[in-house]
């Protein structure tokens, strides 16, 4: 999604936190993720962020409400709501598919939000827990990735959905395989892209806030754990050299 921010909102300074000391988030409980979201947000606000975009579907599903309650007055954008609007626009046969992490799918948030707007739409969800590790291994074109994607999508294909939400920020890296396996006539929705478009529209309507945003200075990429593997991966994903900064984390158990 950072790529979409660079493309669509190139003039602003980005502060990005990758919580590499505690991710992946996809199998963790909502309770734990709410806590992580509050800690992550506080870190970014302490470093000068003026608005927040939750770039992770799992965190958006678990913690958007808690973040808005905690940080009143800070515009907080989640990555799910714009994708919900888009998929409702796109479906013609009123049958849509959602793929995401286990925690996102168990939360049922996409179904709930889609049905609030249009109760006639049928929503079919499928968790795809192995896709995050496959993307993080950069196995984007391996035959095993293809068969695993096919296996996950088979039940949604059977349900004849005509639109599919890529409900995890890792999945757009597999967009081509997913399109191939679900069928070329199915519309794919990229929540990151929709969220950045929504944010752009918001800024166009809020000139006071828009003017207050920082334009100069380098982007900052924080990680809570530094490894060469994730640095290389980030560079590959963003297609540019990346100077990451370590945001140290300290915890207490029990």
Task: State the catalytic residues.
Answer: 56, 168
Exactly one of 130, 180, 197, 203 binds its own copies (CB under 8 A); which one? 130
CA distances from 171 to 49, 131, 225, 241, 245 (A): 27, 7, 23, 22, 26
Q: Are strands 163-167 and 122-127 parallel, antiparallel or unpaired?
A: unpaired
Span between the terminal Cα atoms of the chain, in Å: 35
Question: Rounded distance, CA 152 to CA 70, Å?
Answer: 37
Give the separation between CA 246 and CA 249, rounded to whole angstroms: 9
d(CA 87, CA 188): 9
Q: Is 136 in the site for its own copies (CB under 8 A)?
A: yes
Q: Does 164 bind its own copies (CB under 8 A)?
A: no
Per CB under 8 A, does 65 bind its own copies?
no
Asked if 133 is part of the footprint of its own copies (rule: CB under 8 A), the reply reads yes
Among 8, 29, 141, 210, binds its own copies (CB under 8 A): 29
Q: Kindly identify the residues of this chain, within the stretch 87-106, that bind its own copies according to CB under 8 A.
A: 102-103
Tell me which of 203, 230, 237, 238 binds its own copies, using CB under 8 A. Answer: 230
Range 3-22, binding its own copies (CB under 8 A): 17, 19-22
Which residue in the set 7, 27, 176, 200 belongs to the binding site for its own copies (CB under 8 A)?
27
Smallest separation, CB 29 to its own copies (Å): 5
Query: For its own copies, how many residues bind (rule: CB under 8 A)?
Result: 49
- What dihedral do alpha carbons 31, 34, 39, 43 form, nearest 10°? 160
Those residues with Cβ within 8 angstroms of residue 164's Cβ, 6 or more apart along the chain or in another chain: 96, 97, 98, 99, 156, 178, 182, 186, 187, 188, 189
Q: Pick between residue 147 and residue 235 the one whose CB is nearest to its own copies.
A: 147
Indicate whether 237 belongs to the interface with its own copies (CB under 8 A): no
Alpha carbon distance 242, 125 (integer Å): 35
> Using the rule CB under 8 A, is 225 a contact of its own copies?
yes
- Interacting residue ranges for its own copies, rule: CB under 8 A: 17, 19-22, 24, 27-29, 31-32, 35-36, 39-40, 42-43, 46-47, 102-103, 129-130, 132-134, 136-137, 139, 143-144, 147-148, 151, 222, 224-227, 229-230, 247-254
């Amino acid at each position: 999604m950072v790529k979409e921010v660079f493309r669509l909102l190139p003039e602003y300074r980005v502060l990005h936190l990758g919580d590499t000391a505690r991710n992946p988030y996809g199998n963790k409980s909502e309770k734990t993720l709410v806590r992580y979201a509050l800690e992550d947000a506080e870190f970014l606000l302490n470093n000068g962020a003026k608005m927040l975009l939750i770039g992770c579907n799992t965190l958006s599903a678990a913690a958007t409400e808690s973040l808005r309650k905690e940080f009143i007055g800070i515009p907080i954008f989640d990555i799910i709501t714009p994708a919900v609007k888009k998929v409702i626009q796109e479906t013609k046969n009123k049958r849509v598919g959602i793929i995401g992490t286990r925690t996102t799918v168990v939360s049922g948030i996409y179904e709930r939000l889609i049905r609030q707007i249009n109760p006639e739409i049928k929503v079919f969800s499928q968790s795809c827990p192995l896709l995050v590790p496959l993307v993080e291994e950069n196995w984007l074109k391996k035959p095993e990735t293809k068969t695993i994607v096919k296996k996950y999508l088979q039940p949604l294909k059977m349900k004849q959905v005509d639109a599919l939400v890529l409900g995890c920020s890792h999945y757009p890296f597999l967009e081509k395989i997913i399109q191939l396996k679900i069928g070329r006539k199915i519309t794919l929705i990229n929540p990151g892209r929709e969220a950045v478009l929504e944010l752009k529209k918001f800024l166009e309507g809020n000139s006071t806030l828009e003017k207050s945003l920082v334009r100069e200075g380098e982007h900052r990429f924080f990680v809570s754990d530094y490894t060469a593997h994730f640095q290389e991966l980030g560079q590959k994903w963003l297609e540019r050299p990346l100077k990451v900064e370590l945001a140290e984390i300290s915890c207490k158990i029990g």
